[in-house]
Structure 1
């Protein structure tokens, strides 16, 4: 005899709590436990994508190309990294898949100057639907002018959040 199914609101609350507590690693496991849990798990995994290296950028790009349904789930992209390893190419690489995203987050040692910075700023203009920009812990290498350039790169920007930046 099968146990009675859990109410959907209980299941979603448990999955939401896993995500809120930072246990993203558990969501793919939950998705395999029960087919009914897959849509919620997929949503929670893909709503905020973090890219910290060229390898993670390539993996995410490949997943978005292989499974187009994932594209509509992404609402936030976070770029983070150390100097020399920062995934500056991400906005240009992801544009064909994620032009619709609402929020861009930049964290770590972002460099706006030079060719990388110009290419980064140039690709941001195509994200017309982006309404929110978060610049987090970029104080060491970013100036007030750089933040202004970054913000002006998004034509539809409505919110700018500076966290531990420009100290």
Structure 2
């Protein structure tokens, strides 16, 4: 008796459902196993596998570049990427030096990217350049940006990076820092324009140890929100001493 026939559209729906609400590690393992079942399962399994990419070290970055981005047969799957997580929250911050290269290497290759999470990136590892924060403008499809515990050479780099993404609907800022300088030297008053007309969720988190950075950011972001449709605003500030 021949094995039962299952239409491809049914197996595609099953594979898509498998990946829902799983942690990234289990999700990747499940989809990798699905890809090995048979040839018919490979396209959807591989496409779903590429929806979420997490780069945690130099090796994972090098593999992504060499085996995917520069491969004529594999580069097509980068169009499936919707979420990118670059995690350099390790003590040595060895990945930070490659982050700017990422935005150059992958320009035009991630047309479906919507959610970008940068965790622990030390942008101070880059050579000073006025243009590097604007590299993010090549990924204008991003609607959700999360910057956690990143270090910048100046507040102006933060400002340029954020204003390079006009389609933001979700912005999550936590513990960003840069060298403290006199407020007189900072351009904290934005021009009269709407930077993020679709922004509806804003989350800001800081601690008392970074109060100067928090103050600078709030002085800039408050008028910059003019014209934005923010409906959900969350601000956490830890370490305040109450009498």
Determine helix, strand or coil for the equivalent of 1:125. Answer: helix
Aligned equivalent of 1:39 = 43
Q: Cα offset for 1:107? A: 3.3
Q: Which has the larger radius of gyration?
A: 2
Residue 151 (structure 1) aligned with residue 162 (structure 2): yes
Q: CA RMSD in A?
A: 3.3
Q: Cα offset for 1:97? A: 4.2
1:47·1:74 contact (CA, 8 Å) conserved in 2?
yes
Deviations 1:38-90 (A, max 9, x none): 11011111122211111110011112123333333334432112152344423
Count of matched residue pairs? 164
1:99·1:126 contact (CA, 8 Å) conserved in 2?
no
- For residues 70 and 94 of structure 1, do their structure 2 counterparts lie closer, same or farther at Cα, with a shift above 3 Å needed? farther
Aligned equivalent of 1:53 = 57
1:107·1:138 contact (CA, 8 Å) conserved in 2?
yes
Q: Cα offset for 1:123? A: 6.7
Which of 135, 140, 146 is equivalent to 1:136? 146
Q: Cα offset for 1:13? A: 2.5
Question: Bigger relative contact order, structure 1 or 2, given CA contacts below 8 A and separation 6+?
Answer: 1
Q: Cα offset for 1:157? A: 3.3
**1:97, 1:164 → 2: CA distance?**
24
Determine helix, strand or coil for the equivalent of 1:50. Answer: strand
Aligned equivalent of 2:11 = 11
- For residues 106 and 145 of structure 1, do their structure 2 counterparts lie closer, same or farther at Cα, with a shift above 3 Å needed? farther
1:57·1:90 contact (CA, 8 Å) conserved in 2?
no
**2:45, 2:61 → 1: CA distance?**
21
Provide structure 2 residue ranges, at least 5 long, that are not aligned to the other structure: 175-203, 206-243
- For residues 140 and 89 of structure 1, do their structure 2 counterparts lie closer, same or farther at Cα, with a shift above 3 Å needed? closer
Aligned equivalent of 1:77 = 84
Structure with the larger helix share: 1
